[in-house]
Each structure stands twice: as C-alpha cells, then as structure tokens.
Structure 1
Amino acid sequence: MKKNLGTVDKAIRIIIAVGIAVLYFTNVISGTLAIVLGILAVVFLLTSFISFCPLYLPFGINTLKKKRR
C-alpha cells in the first residue's frame, strides 16, 4: 500500500470529518443523513491517518509530493 495523500489533502479530510462531527453533536443532522455522513467522516479520518486513499488508485491520483534527492 503506497501512500498517495499529501499534507493538504489530509488536512482537508480531517477538517471535513470534524465539521461532520460538530453538525452531529449539535443536532443539526440526524437520522439516515447522520449515519451516512458519520461513515464518510470515519473513512476520511482513517484514510488521513494511513495516508492512502483506495479511490485514488484507479484514477492515478497522487497528492503526495515527491521527495527530491
């Protein structure tokens, strides 16, 4: 599993996940929408922490900057 998420991409995913959590805990979202967005938030956090997004593979997307030698 090769890393394919850059720093900015990870930060955006974490911010979105935190935003969803805030909406849930302030009762702005509930029911089915809350469940779907909650699952999305968990996926965003998981992919941010492991720096890998499986959906990027088929499209060849890589936001990780290459290290210079």
Structure 2
Amino acid sequence: MKTNMGNLDRMIRFLLALVMGLLIYYDVVGGVISYILLAIIGIFALTSLVGFCPFYAVLGWNTFSQKR
C-alpha cells in the first residue's frame, strides 16, 4: 500500500487523537459525543500509524512529499 500522508500530517492526526482521548478521560465530554470522539480517535490513530488515509485516496490528495 502506497503512503499518502506526510510526517506532519501523521503527527497532527496523532496529537488530535491524543487530545480527544484526554477530553474523554477527564470527563470534559460525555454521552454520545464521547462515543463519536472514540470513533474519530480510532480512525486518526490508525491512519497516522499506517500512513494511509482512504479518504485522501478517494479525493486524490497526497501530503507525502517525495525527495527527488
């Protein structure tokens, strides 16, 4: 599978997942919103670790810069 995410994009996704996780952990958000955030956390964490985002592939976006 070809990567389509650059390091900055991956880091931002991982940090957002971490912040959302902390919001849930410290009960800043709760109820249905916490379950929605958990789903987003899972998606962000997985895509940042793998380096591939299916949504980017559908739109044709690529944040990965290749050195020539």
TM-score by length of 1: 0.94
TM-score by length of 2: 0.95
- In structure 2, runs of 5+ residues without a counterpart are none
| Letter of the structure 2 residue corresponding to residue 13 of structure 1 | R
Give runs of ≥4 in structure 1 deviating > 6 Å.
Answer: none
| Letter of the structure 2 residue corresponding to residue 56 of structure 1 | Y
1:33-68 CA-to-partner distances (Å, cap 9, x unmatched) read: 000011101110000011000001121100001122
| Cα-Cα RMSD | 0.7
**Amino-acid identity (%):** 37
- Indicate the SS of the match to 1:62: coil
2:56 is aligned to 56
- In structure 1, runs of 5+ residues without a counterpart are none
